[in-house]
C-alpha cells in the first residue's frame, strides 16, 4: 500500500511537525519484539520495572498512570478523576490546545473560566493569582495550564504558576499539559507542586501516537475519592491497583510499552539535563535563522520561547499553507500548520525528540529553499546564522 500520495522526492521524508516526531531505530526495534502474554509473569516483571522507570522522566516519586490513548484521553482522565459536575476550572488561553481543553471541560459539565492572552506568550501567572484571590468561596477547584502550547511555540512558567496559586492561598489543584514538552523541556512534577501532569507518547518521548499519561500527586488521589464525574475506562483506582504488580486492568498496548521502555532508557542514558540543553540549543539556532530571514517569531516573550518548536509568521499577503505545500512537494519535508486563529498565518518548525545538529541544518535548509521557491520575502543566509551559533562562532 502507498502510504504517501505526495509527489515522490528522493531521500527520506523529513517529518518536522511538532509531533508526532521521528521514531528512533532503537525504539522501532524494541517495538518489533513479539507480543507477550499481558497476564503472564514476564509481563508483570516488565511492567513493574517500566512503571518505576517512567517516574524519572516526570521527576516524581508518585504514580504514573499509562493509558492506551492519545493525549486527549489523558486530558479527560485528569479532569474526570479529580472534579465533579459544575466545578469551576481556571484555564489560561495560551493557544489552540488550551482552547480545546476548555471545550472538553465544558462538555464534561464543568465551568471553565478563562484567563485570556493574545496567543503570543505563555500563561499569565499574575492573572491566575488575581482570579484566585477574587475567588473567596474557593469555587475554583483546579487550575489547568498547557506547559508548552504547540500552536504558538510559547512555554508557560509552571514554577511561577505554582507560586501564584500559593501566594493567593488557594487550595485549587494544579493540572498541567506537557504533551509537547515532556522529554524536551525542563519539567518537575514534584518540585513544582503539580497535581496531575498530562503527557503523550508521540513527541519528546519519541514514540508513535498511542500512549498517554497522568502523573498523580497524593492531593490529586485524595480529590479522586470525592470526585463524581463519571469515569470507568479513565478511572485511576483500578489502574493503580493493577499497577502495583506491574499489570493493567485491561489489555495494554504491549508493543508501545516496549518502545516506551527503550525511549526512556535513551533519555536517561543521555541525561535529562543534557536532553533539555540540546533542545534549548537547537531552538536558539532556529530562532537565529528566523530572525536572519527577517521573519517574525509568533511568541513575543523571550522568557516563554519554546525549545520544542518555533512558530513563524509569514508576511502579510503570503500564505503559510502555500509555503508548507511548496516545501512538501519540492523537498519532501512536512512542517506544522497554523491552528485556530493562526490558520494560514504561521508555519511551525518542530525541533524535538530524536533530533541532532545535521537534522536541524537540513530542516532549516529546506525552509530557506522553500521561502525562495514560494516567493516569500526573506534575507538569505539564515542557515549559515544557525550554523555559526551551533559552531560557537555567533
Annotated binding site for substrate: 348
Q: Output the known binding site.
A: 348
* Secondary element (H or E) of residue 384: helix 382-390
- Find out whether 84 and 229 touch, Cβ atoms under 8 Å: yes
Cβ-Cβ contacts under 8 Å for 225 (sequence gap 6 or more): none
Pairing verdict, β 140-146 and 88-93: parallel
The DSSP annotation for 297-344 comes to ES---GGGB-SSEEEEEPPTT--HHHHHHHHHHHH-EEEEEP-GGGTT
Give yes or no for a cis peptide into 20 (omega within 30° of 0). yes
- Find out whether 362 and 319 touch, Cβ atoms under 8 Å: no
CA angle (185 as vertex; 181, 190 as ends), nearest 5: 85
Burial class (CB in 10 A: 0-12, 13-18, 19+), 5: exposed
Amino acid at each position: 500500500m502507498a502510504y504517501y500520495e505526495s509527489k515522490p522526492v528522493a531521500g527520506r521524508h523529513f517529518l518536522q511537525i511538532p509531533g508526532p516526531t521521528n521514531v528512533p531505530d532503537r525504539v522501532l526495534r524494541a517495538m518489533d519484539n513479539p507480543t507477550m502474554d499481558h497476564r503472564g509473569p514476564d509481563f508483570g516483571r516488565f511492567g513493574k520495572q517500566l512503571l518505576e522507570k517512567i517516574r524519572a522522566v516526570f521527576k516524581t516519586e508518585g504514580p504514573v498512570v499509562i493509558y492506551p490513548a492519545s493525549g486527549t484521553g489523558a486530558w479527560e482522565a485528569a479532569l474526570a478523576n479529580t472534579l465533579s459536575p459544575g466545578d469551576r476550572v481556571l484555564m489560561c488561553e495560551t493557544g489552540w490546545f488550551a482552547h480545546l481543553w476548555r471545550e472538553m471541560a465544558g462538555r464534561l459539565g464543568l465551568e471553565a473560566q478563562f484567563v485570556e492572552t493574545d496567543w503570543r506568550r505563555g500563561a499569565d501567572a499574575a492573572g491566575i493569582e488575581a482570579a484566585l484571590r477574587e475567588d473567596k468561596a474557593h469555587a475554583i477547584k483546579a487550575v489547568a495550564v498547557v506547559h508548552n502550547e504547540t500552536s504558538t511555540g510559547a512555554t508557560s512558567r509552571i514554577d511561577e504558576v505554582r507560586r501564584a496559586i500559593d501566594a493567593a492561598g488557594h487550595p485549587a489543584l494544579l493540572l498541567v499539559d506537557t504533551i509537547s514538552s515532556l522529554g524536551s523541556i525542563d519539567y518537575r512534577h514534584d518540585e513544582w507542586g503539580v497535581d496531575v501532569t498530562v503527557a503523550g507518547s508521540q513527541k519528546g518521548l519519541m514514540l508513535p501516537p498511542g500512549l498517554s499519561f497522568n502523573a498523580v500527586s497524593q492531593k490529586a488521589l485524595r480529590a479522586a475519592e470525592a470526585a463524581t464525574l463519571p469515569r470507568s475506562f479513565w478511572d485511576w483506582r483500578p489502574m493503580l491497583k493493577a499497577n502495583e504488580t506491574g499489570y493493567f486492568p485491561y489489555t495494554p498496548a504491549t508493543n508501545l510499552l516496549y518502545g516506551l521502555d527503550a525511549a526512556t532508557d535513551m533519555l536517561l542514558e543521555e541525561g535529562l539535563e543534557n536532553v533539555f540543553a540540546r533542545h534549548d540549543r537547537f531552538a536558539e539556532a532556529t530562532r537565529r535563522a528566523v530572525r536572519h530571514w527577517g521573519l517574525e517569531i509568533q511568541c513575543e516573550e523571550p522568557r516563554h520561547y519554546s525549545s520544542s518548536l518555533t512558530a513563524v509568521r509569514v508576511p502579510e499577503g503570503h500564505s503559510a499553507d502555500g509555503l508548507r505545500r511548496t516545501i512538501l512537494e519540492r523537498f519532501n519535508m512536512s512542517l506544522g500548520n497554523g491552528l485556530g486563529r493562526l490558520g494560514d498565518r504561521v508555519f511551525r518548525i518542530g525541533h524535538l525528540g530524536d533530533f541532532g545538529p545535521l537534522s536541524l541544518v537540513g530542516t532549516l535548509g529546506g525552509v530557506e529553499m522553500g521561502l525562495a521557491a514560494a516567493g516569500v520575502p526573506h534575507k538569505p543566509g539564515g542557515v549559515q546564522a544557525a550554523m555559526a551559533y551551533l559552531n560557537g562562532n555567533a
